[in-house]
């Protein structure tokens, strides 16, 4: 690893057309904050910059629909987002906004530099245009009937009912979602950035040079690069945004994805006159925290822009998170399926750390994860209260009771194996937490902190100083044994304050207050040692760090979430489709959809992940039970379906399983291998009747033991009203092992 002199951390610019929800926090703000707090605790030179993204057509559309100005829209949401982030203790050094003059100047200057270098291609194309609303339309803003499944509310880029990728030309009866007008085609001129010219450099830089990037990030970059890059329009027709700094370019603004990442540079300029140290010197480590929907912009487009410009450093890492779902469903701001940060703060005052804890321990670092209120309660009550809080509270109470409220001495002559083990555990924990934090594995790092407090609880439980106390006055070593136990537990408490600080800063402060130690003592370098508290030093009275969360509080939240759902099939309400897609992670802009509005924006960047970047806003409610049929299960996203591997198979042999009258052991030919599957169909079929039968197998189900036999998969069956089972089959013989999708 290069020896860096300073670190610059950015977190995705949230789109200023809606409030912040917990998916945003989990996606990038919380991990970025944890990273920055840790680096500061290491006394490193670090700056943490961010701000609101206030341009783009969804904002003008929202303003149009609400009858206000775009300025009013962004003013409102910028303030809301800014205070939610501050209230959650996201420790930005600056939280700016892209409507600031310094940003307009910086972004326009950046564009002009590339223009003067002759890097843009000027092209005239035909775009969809809404004559009533007087706006060019992105595919997402055109709806009509899906030619494949007949869904009357398909979008111009995709039908969310059948999942087909579409173009507006394919829609039957197309109309604008803004005015209901039939869109027409109109000529317009824009400036295109030739991404393909940077393809081989990007391949080298990412695929060869950054193999250490997270798998989800590296994999997405590779698939974009493998599918080939094309020119992309960097300007749009609009009056809201950064004016294209060229003569004759009236009515044209910079594409929001061109200007937004430059916002990181502008914010740094606003923060410090030494901004060039952070942006223009090779010994700076630049890290972008984002959600997965922004990977292409931060790993491919922005670096290509920076490379083309030539003055700036490139990101060293882009640790993107996947999506956080809520109670099993994808976040949707248009359906109001979200947990809003400002509402959480109102309902759970002073409990920022609980949310931070739950979001970090369940962070979608490698795959989409689910937030549920029950899990929130469980993690609070059985981890924060019962383990971490309990240990520190017991330590403080016992120290006051058995050691006169002072740090007791440690009597070396009485040290035993349990003490030695605990000391080793503290040192080991420090190394592990540090390793996790340096490598963006925040869940693992937090787990190590909790694991140390678990071990501490066990140590205390084994030592039982309250039992030893019965021997006081009888056994001369009793006080010394108590001293040793509490001395170590107090030093460990101070260590926990250091280790938990990046994750739960309020909790660290509370511990620090009880222990009366100065900030300097709790710097990272002091972690792992037993010299944090001086012997004889008197400490404050214990205060509880966490409180139990009751069932009633959780029920209230679950009911509120369910009651607040807006069923809005079809077109996105008030232009919030953009917020939806970004909803689950960090920012507001996506690969497809509204960001492409007004120009042939999607050209070249509707890559392989494009289909995943859209929100299921044409959600249908789970159907009710009809005519004895079970109700439809909650909706899933395509990604969930794609995880299942269905294959064709042929039953080679079948036999009864001893002592199990429902089970048959089947050997199934899957083309590439023979599988053993245990199936509960013995009461429906005789083993002899099954040989040679064609079946559909779930081929990637985790193995499971039944009656001592390992079953490797499952056969699909349909059950009729009478409880009779039927095989699911093809219309004729097919080879085994074929993939079904």
Where do contacts with Zn ion occur on this chain (CB under 5 A)? 146, 148-149, 151, 159, 161-162
Q: Which of 142/651 has CB closer to Zn ion? A: 142
CB of 145 to Zn ion, least distance (A): 9
Q: Which C-beta is closer to Zn ion: that of 159 or that of 579?
A: 159
Q: Closest distance between Zn ion and the C-beta of residue 156, in Å?
A: 12
Rounded Cα gap, residues 57 and 595, in angstroms: 7
Q: How far apart are the first and last CA of the chain?
A: 43
Torsion-angle region of residue 493: left (phi > 0), alpha (psi -120 to 50) or beta? Answer: alpha
Write out the H or E segment, with its range, that includes residue 697.
Answer: strand 694-698
Contact by Cβ (8 Å): 173, 145: yes
Closest contact distance (angstroms) between CB of 161 and Zn ion is: 5
Rounded Cα gap, residues 621 and 632, in angstroms: 9
User: Considering the complex, what minimum distance in angstroms separates the CB of residue 170 from Zn ion?
Assistant: 10
Q: How far is the CA of 217 from the CAs of 213, 292, 475, in angstroms? A: 6, 8, 62
Is residue 664 within 8 Å of residue 717, measured between CB atoms? no
Beta carbon of residue 151, minimum distance to Zn ion (angstroms, whole number): 5
Q: What minimum distance in Å lies between the beta carbon of 605 and Zn ion?
A: 23
- CB 576 → Zn ion: shortest distance, Å? 22
For strand 121-130 and strand 184-193, is the pairing parallel, antiparallel, or unpaired? antiparallel
> Based on C-alpha coordinates, what's the Rg of the chain?
30
Q: How far is CA 399 from the centre of its chain?
A: 41
- Cβ neighbours for 150, distance < 8 A, ≥ 6 positions apart: none
Distance CA 568, CA 334 (A): 8
Round to whole Å and give the CA distance between 405 and 383. Answer: 27
CB-wise, 527 or 616, nearer to Zn ion? 616
CB-nearer residue toward Zn ion: 148 or 181 = 148
Judged by beta carbon, residue 148 or residue 521, the one nearer Zn ion is 148
Cβ atoms within 10 A of the Cβ of 161, count?
18
**Closest CB to Zn ion among residues 619, 650:** 619
- Residue 161 or residue 394: which is nearer to Zn ion going by CB? 161
Q: Which is nearer to Zn ion, 151 or 491 (CB)?
A: 151
Which is nearest to 614 in space by CA: 587, 648, 578, 645? Answer: 578
CB of 166 to Zn ion, least distance (A): 8
Please tell me the distance from the alpha carbon of residue 175 to that of residue 130, in angstroms, as a whole number. Answer: 9
d(CA 266, CA 52): 12
Q: Nearer to Zn ion by C-beta: 148 or 478?
A: 148
Report the residue number, 149 or 172, with the smaller CB distance to Zn ion: 149
Closest approach, Cβ 569 to Zn ion, in A, equals 13
At residue 638, the 3 state secondary structure works out as helix
Closest approach of Zn ion to the CB of residue 259, in Å: 34
* Secondary structure (DSSP) of 83-117: HHHHHTT---SEEEETTSHHHHHHHHHHHHHHHHT
């Amino acid at each position: 690893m290069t020896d860096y002199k300073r670190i610059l951390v950015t977190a995705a610019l949230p789109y200023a057309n809606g409030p912040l929800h917990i998916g945003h926090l989990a996606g990038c703000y919380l991990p970025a904050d944890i990273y920055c707090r840790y680096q500061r605790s290491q006394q490193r030179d670090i700056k943490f910059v961010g701000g609101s993204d206030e341009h783009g057509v969804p904002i003008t559309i929202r303003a149009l629909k609400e009858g206000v100005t775009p300025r009013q829209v962004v003013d409102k949401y910028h303030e809301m987002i800014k205070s939610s982030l501050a209230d959650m203790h996201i420790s930005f050094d600056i939280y700016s906004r892209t409507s600031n003059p310094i940003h307009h100047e910086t972004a326009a200057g950046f564009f002009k530099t590339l223009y003067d270098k002759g890097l843009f291609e000027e092209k005239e194309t035909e775009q969809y245009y809404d004559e009533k609303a007087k706006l060019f339309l992105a595919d997402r803003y055109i709806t009509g009937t899906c030619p494949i499944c007949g869904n009357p509310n398909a979008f111009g880029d995709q039908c969310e009912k059948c999942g087909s990728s579409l173009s507006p030309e394919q829609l039957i009866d197309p109309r604008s979602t803004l005015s209901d007008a039939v869109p027409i085609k109109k000529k317009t001129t824009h400036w295109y950035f030739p991404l393909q010219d940077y393809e081989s450099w990007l391949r080298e830089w990412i695929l060869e040079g950054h193999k250490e990037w997270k798998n989800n990030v590296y994999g997405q970059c590779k698939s974009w690069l493998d599918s080939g890059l094309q020119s992309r329009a960097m300007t749009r027709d609009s009056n809201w945004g950064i004016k294209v700094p060229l003569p004759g370019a009236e009515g044209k603004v910079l594409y929001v994805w061109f200007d937004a990442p430059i916002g990181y540079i502008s914010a740094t300029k606003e923060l410090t006159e030494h901004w060039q140290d952070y942006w223009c010197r090779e010994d700076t480590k630049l890290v972008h925290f984002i959600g997965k929907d922004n990977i292409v912009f931060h790993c491919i487009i922005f670096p290509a822009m920076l490379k083309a410009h030539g003055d700036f450093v490139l990101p060293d890492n882009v640790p993107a998170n996947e999506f956080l779902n809520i109670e099993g469903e994808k976040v949707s701001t248009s359906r109001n399926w979200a947990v809003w940060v400002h509402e959480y703060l109102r309902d759970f005052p002073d409990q920022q750390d609980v949310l931070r804890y739950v979001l970090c321990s369940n962070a979608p670092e490698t795959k989409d994860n689910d937030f549920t209120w029950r899990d929130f309660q469980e993690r609070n009550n059985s981890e924060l209260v019962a383990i971490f809080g309990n240990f520190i509270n017991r330590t403080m109470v016992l120290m006051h009771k058995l050691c006169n409220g002072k740090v007791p001495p440690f009597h070396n002559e009485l040290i035993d194996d349990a003490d030695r083990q605990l000391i080793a555990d503290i040192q080991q924990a420090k190394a592990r937490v540090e390793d996790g934090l340096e490598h963006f594995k925040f869940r693992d790092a937090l787990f190590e902190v909790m694991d140390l407090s678990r071990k501490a609880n066990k140590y205390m439980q084994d030592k039982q100083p309250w039992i030893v106390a019965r021997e006081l006055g009888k056994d001369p070593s009793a006080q010394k044994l108590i001293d040793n136990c509490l001395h170590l537990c107090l030093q460990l408490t101070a260590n926990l304050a250091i280790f938990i600080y990046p994750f739960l800063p309020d909790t660290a402060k509370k511990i620090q207050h009880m222990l009366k130690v100065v900030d300097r003592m709790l710097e990272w370098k002091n972690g792992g040692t037993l010299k944090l508290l001086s012997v004889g030093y008197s400490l404050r009275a214990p205060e509880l760090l966490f409180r139990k969360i009751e069932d009633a509080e959780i029920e209230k939240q679950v009911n509120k979430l369910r009651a607040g759902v807006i069923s809005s099939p079809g077109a996105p309400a008030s232009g919030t489709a953009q917020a939806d897609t970004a909803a689950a992670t960090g920012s507001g802009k996506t690969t497809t959809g509204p960001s492409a509005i007004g120009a042939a924006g999607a050209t070249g960047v509707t890559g392989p992940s494009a289909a995943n970047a859209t929100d299921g806003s044409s959600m249908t409610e789970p159907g009710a039970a009809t005519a004895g049929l079970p109700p439809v299960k909650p909706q899933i996203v395509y990604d969930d379906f794609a995880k299942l591997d269905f294959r064709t198979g042929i039953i080679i042999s079948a036999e009864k399983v001893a002592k199990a009258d429902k089970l048959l052991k089947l050997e199934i030919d899957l083309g590439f291998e023979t599988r053993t599957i245990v199936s509960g169909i013995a009461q429906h079929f005789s083993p002899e009747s099954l040989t040679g039968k064609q079946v559909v197998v779930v081929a990637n189900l985790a193995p499971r033991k039944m009656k001592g036999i390992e079953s490797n998969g499952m056969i699909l069956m349909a059950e009729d009203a009478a409880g009779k089972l039927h095989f699911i089959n093809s219309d004729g013989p097919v080879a085994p092992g074929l993939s079904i999708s």
